Amino acid sequence: MQHTFVRGLRLAIALSIFLFSLAPGPARADNAIGMAALKAGDFKRAHALLLPEAEAGNAVAQYEIGRMYDRGRGVDFDAAAAAEWFRAAAEQDNARAQHALGTYFEEGKGVRQDMAQAAHWYGRAAALGNAKAARNLGNLYLEGNGVTRDLVRAAELFRRAADGGNSKAYKNLGYMYYFGTGVVQDLQHAADLFRLGAADDQAKSEFALGFLHYHGEVVDRDLASALALFQSAAAKGHADGQIFLGRMLAEGEGIEQDMAEAWFWFTLAEAQEPRTASYYFAKYAGVIDTTHKEAARLRARLWVPKS
């Protein structure tokens, strides 16, 4: 039944694009009104206004309808329908839709997982200047997923993504320079890239720069800076940041020793890094009482990461 629906939707979209290509004149005012409703958060009205435009072949409207199905806004969540609308827009060279369709193929969301297809759509979007797609494609080349592993190409794509404003790519490119992977090793440049990512509030870059400050590698050893960076990364849910913050609290490094607070951060990290957290639980089990352990676990259950 689902496959029949998807085939029918695909045929309807293809037919509507063909008819739209024959129709003269500008897009209807409904499109602008629909986009305004979308921006205002009136998703049901936005869907009602944008759907006819999408069905008529408007690629921007198709992408936005796809996002509504993807997020369950104004309509019930339907990954298969979202994928078809993304595909319709992607085939008209809408870069955001191409990126979205690439993620669907990479994750197997609404479509059969296909890394080669993911790489294809990321590549098309990256060629149109989509920085997110360039970073995602870089990750595929880094791991050899859907493409032949090519570290030089991965580094080029991370650089393109960073230059295009994707601050997450600073971390990717930073590690390439740190380890000398696909580029000539340059620890100072790696630190500079981590600093750029941290300046844009990226948790992984914050942790990486904090790690360098903690060990005094390339940059001056600075426990105060390391602590601040670990605190910021930990607050966003970064497990390694939580572990290192807990460790500094437990040892009183750059901050007054506080085992109860340290236990809290180890507890948070446990969900993502159970083995590492278990190591620290065992190491410090004898210096904190059961009451404080339980209080930390209760806090951890109620904790919400910083967005």
By the 10 Å C-beta count (0-12 exposed, 13-18 middle, 19+ buried), 282 is classed as: exposed
Rg, the chain, Cα only: 24
What is the C-alpha separation between 184 and 199, in angstroms, rounded? Answer: 24
Q: Which pLDDT belongs to residue 19?
A: 45
Cα–Cα nearest to 200, from 239, 227, 174: 174
pLDDT score recorded for residue 16: 52
Residues 6+ apart with CB under 8 A from 306: 235, 236, 237
Tell me if 99 sits within 8 A of 136, measured CB to CB: yes
Q: What is the pTM of this model?
A: 0.84
pLDDT of 26: 47
Domain-located, residue 303: yes
- Neighbouring CB atoms inside 10 A of 39's CB total 9
Of residues 126, 182, 118, the one with CA closest to residue 172 = 182
pLDDT of residue 9: 55
Asked if residue 296 belongs to a domain, the reply is yes
- Per-10-residue mean pLDDT of the chain, 307 residues long, equals 52 50 51 90 95 95 97 96 98 98 98 98 98 98 98 98 96 98 97 97 97 96 98 98 98 97 97 97 95 96 91
Q: What is the pLDDT of residue 307?
A: 75
Type of residue at 6? V
226 in a structural domain:
yes
With respect to residue 253, please indicate whether it lies within any of the assigned structural domains: yes
Q: How many domains does the chain have?
A: 1
Residue that is written with structure tokens 């078809």 in the block: 84
Query: Is 68 among the domain residues?
Result: no
Domain membership of residue 43 (yes or no) is no
Domain presence at residue 240: yes
Domain region containing 230: 222-307
pLDDT at residue 208 in the model = 98
The pLDDT of residue 31 is 81
Q: Which residues of 10-21 are buried (b: 16+ CB within 10 A; e: fewer)?
A: eeebeebbeebe
Establish if 243 belongs to a structural domain.
yes
Give CA–CA dist 23/256, Å, rounded: 71
CA distance 82 to 78: 6
Distance, CA of 162 to CA of 209 (rounded, Å): 17
Q: In this predicted structure, what is the pLDDT of residue 14?
A: 52
Q: What is the pLDDT of residue 21?
A: 47
